[in-house]
Amino acid sequence: MLVSLGGDIAVAGDPPAEGWAVQTSEDSNAPIDDAEETITIESGGIATSSITVRRWTRGGVVLHHIIDPTTGLPVAGPWRTASVVAASCVDANIASTAAIVKGESAIAWLAATGLQARLADRDGGVHRVSGWPNS
């Protein structure tokens, strides 16, 4: 069984023989597109956190929903999107949001935890961590 709630996906039970195909995208409402990166998972969950979707402008300043706890302002780090695969969807969600907040140090932190991750920087560069498959 696969359950998808926006940028978070949980799987349970016996997966299809080829695993569950999951498209990574900055917007969970994006249509399926062969040009987007797709991975397969067999258990656990995957979550994507992004500063590109839940955005608004206030006083001429573009804001988003991921807050830096040290400043109380939206995170200004290098990542626009972080996708993480973990043993559960909750763990993946925590790690993907933490990666956005941690900024540059997220790569070393994710590698130390062994969590597979895909980080997209503000210029569109992709950084794969802990064996995230190349597309």
- Mean pLDDT lowest among 5-9, 107-111, 118-122, 123-127: 5-9
Per-residue pLDDT tens digits for 13-59: 999 999 998 888 766 667 777 777 888 999 999 999 999 888 889 99
Residue 123 vs residue 25, higher pLDDT: 123
What does the pLDDT read at residue 35?
Answer: 75
Identify the CATH number of the domain in which residue 84 sits.
3.10.520.10
Q: How many CA atoms lie within 13 A of 34 on its CB side?
A: 0
45, part of any domain = yes
Is residue 126 within 8 Å of 118, Cβ to Cβ? Answer: yes
134, part of any domain = no
Residue 111 domain boundaries: 2-129
Number of domains in the chain: 1
What does the pLDDT read at residue 122?
Answer: 93
Task: Round to whole Å and give the CA distance between 129 and 117.
Answer: 5
101, part of any domain = yes
Q: What does the mean pLDDT of the chain come to?
A: 90
32, part of any domain = yes
- DSSP states of 38-62: EEEESSEEEEEEESSSSEEEETTEE
70, part of any domain = yes
14, part of any domain = yes
58, part of any domain = yes
What does the pLDDT read at residue 34?
Answer: 78
